[in-house]
Chain A
Amino acid sequence: MSTLEIGLLYGGATIAALFSGIPIAFALGAVAVVFMMAFMPAASVDTIAQNVYEELASITLLTIPLFILKGAAIGKSRAGKDLYDALHTWLHRIPGGLGVAVVIACGLFAAMAGSSPATCSAIGSSGIPEMRRRGYSPGFAAGLVAAGGTLGILLPPSIVLILYAVRAEQSLGRLFLAGIGPGLLLVLLFAGYAVVHWRTEHRRAVAAGVDNEILRQEHFTLKEKFAALPRVLPFLVLLTGVMFALYSGIATPSETAGLGAVLALLLIALVYGAWTLADLKPIFAGTLGESGMLLMIIGMSLLYSYVMSYLHISQGAAAWIVSLHLSKWLLLTAILLMVVVLGFFLPPVSIILMTAPIILPPLRDAGFDLVWFGIVMVVVMEMGLIHPPVGLNIFVLNRIAPDIGLGAIIWGTLPFVVLIGVAVVILSVVPGIAMWLPDLVYGK
């Protein structure tokens, strides 16, 4: 059989296995093993466990469970609510300040916890009821939190960026720094939309001439503002301290993950008194479930990629894309559209692991900086977390605010899908938004 025929068969078998409902990890592993048996030397299947172990034993990959533990510790505490409350007291004078506080709280929490659903859950559980009480439409409130939650896969310590760094053989430090500018851009876009939307709802309420909560003025004294800070500051110190340890050379990425997890557990023990077995059990249960599921997908995806490379499928596909002689920007657009479509069905982790060997060589040949591309790809995958029909954040919010209804949540997220698209265009036109910080720290 030719490489093309084997490649088409491999792709077809993968789609069939994934859509059959076999867990993603085992579907990829099973397809890889079947093709090893059919097209590779007989002895190759004897080393599948060794392949998976050797690929997983990358200390960069193994930061993932520890960053998840850090996120679970912060996510299961009241830190999210305290963060949102503190920002609300400080930002209430801005028109639509409540929505702006929600967006900034999502960004900060995402950077502390590194998880989209945890961010939606932590900020949404207090932010959505408060926004609704203050007259915001339920769909908009849910859409704002869902969009803010997507920052969890872009801001450091993003697990998606860790995987991309390993797969694309790019510096994790550069990628983490490159995520900050686009993260701030998205915060700005979401917060700007929150202000515009608030003004529209406010104008309507004034025109209607009836009493509406959105017209009510709120006041916080300076004492109330400062009283909100003590519970929040330790976590902000943790956020900046851990990043300082990484970029000042005190700790490697794996040590940063370990340090962050231990410090997060210590902080929730000190600030919230969460140190009993009953407090720790859900934190470790959440960590085990999430990191076990993820690392299993990663291990089997690496086996899947190994087979794809051995059979020259990835090289053949990459060479075919290059042979099309697409213009630089058409190539980028085609690849990003493919990522959007894959985002309908696959989690970001699988998209990166399965497509990287095929799409990265043509992009490198076309002259794209792979750190910049990684950031753009992650921003595009953020859409997948909130666009219908299967965005994960939509379902998280439907669980914490079921009375809003799935339809209203989906309509509420759509403007943010468009805003993320706008961010992708801006990043393409002004790549410096992503690259100025890593270039400043590491040089070009």
Chain B
Amino acid sequence: MAHGIDAAAAGGPPPPDVPDAGVLGAVQRGVNAINDLMAVLSSLAIGLAGVILTWEVVGRYFLAIPSDWQDELSAMLLIGATFASAAWTQARRGHVAIDALGQILPPGANRIRRRLADLCAGVFCAYFALKSGQLLMEAWEEGQTTPSAWGSPLWIPYLCMTVGMGLLAVQQALQFLNGPRRA
């Protein structure tokens, strides 16, 4: 069972239930390329957020520069990184689940359970992506901004959420269609 606040880091090669042959394998290779790009961008975003917050301390404490945008930009970068890298994490089964029934059920029933779980998670993520997309369109058309003094455009985080959850739904669909690996 995957369990714990800081449960297994999701790094490392994808497990064998990611499709690697045929049409699904070809699609997965395309998705992997996008996932890897998103992982690089997300890593840069996290690193940049760290640098911005460090600069905030140095700027305010040593140079008396007021801090008005750093927290908000950092929040956007970190939320963007979370959603953008969600499919990369899913490809490695890094989103933790309770697998207690897997110890009890016979292998055939367990495979069906895992497939249904992938289907439900995929449907939810696709729906979330759809709703994020609708908010993205609204935020873009109405020029919505955050209520802070800096007033950053809201379409940026909604874009990250739409793309991230959409990619996550595709990744889950690929894992559903491929079926779980045999125990």
Contact = CB atoms under 8 A, between A and B. Distances in A.
Given A21-B101, A290-B7, A347-B5, A258 B54 contact: yes
A335 interface: no
A18 B98 contact: yes
B99 A294 contact: no
B11 A29 contact: no
Contact of B82 (A56, A69, A262, A391): A56
Interface of B: 1, 3-12, 39, 42-43, 46-47, 49-54, 56-57, 61, 71, 74-75, 78-79, 81-82, 85-86, 88-90, 92, 94-102, 113-114, 116-117, 120-121, 123-125, 127-128, 131-132, 134-135, 157-158, 161-162
Q: How large is the interface on A (under 10, 10 to 19, 20 to 34, 35 or more residues)?
A: 35 or more
A168 interface: no
B36 to A, nearest CB: 11
Contacts of B132: 49
Contact of A65 (B46, B99, B125): B46
Given A20-B120, A65-B81, A153-B5, A293 B131 contact: no
Contacts of B158: 49, 53
A290 B10 contact: yes
B78 A262 contact: no
A89 B109 CA distance: 55
A347 B7 contact: yes
B97 A296 contact: no
Interface string A236-258: 00000000010000110011011
Contacts of A18: 98
Interface string A8-31: 000000000111111111110110
Contact of A23 (B51, B121, B157): B121
A245 B3 contact: no
25 contacts: A19-B101, A20-B117, A21-B97, A23-B121, A24-B96, A26-B95, A29-B128, A49-B128, A49-B161, A50-B135, A58-B75, A62-B75, A65-B49, A69-B50, A159-B6, A255-B53, A257-B53, A258-B53, A259-B57, A262-B50, A289-B9, A345-B3, A347-B4, A390-B100, A392-B4
Contacts of B102: 21
A229 B54 CA distance: 28
Contacts of B128: 29, 33, 48-49
B82 A296 contact: yes
Interface in A79-133: 115-118
A21 B117 contact: yes
A250 B57 contact: yes
Contacts of B94: 289, 292-293
Contact of B3 (A153, A159, A296, A347): A347
Contact of B74 (A24, A254, A265): A254
A15 B11 CA distance: 29
A355 to B, nearest CB: 15
Contacts of B7: 117, 290, 293, 347, 392
Contact of B50 (A66, A250, A290, A292): A66
Contacts of A58: 75
Nearest to B12: A285
A72 interface: yes
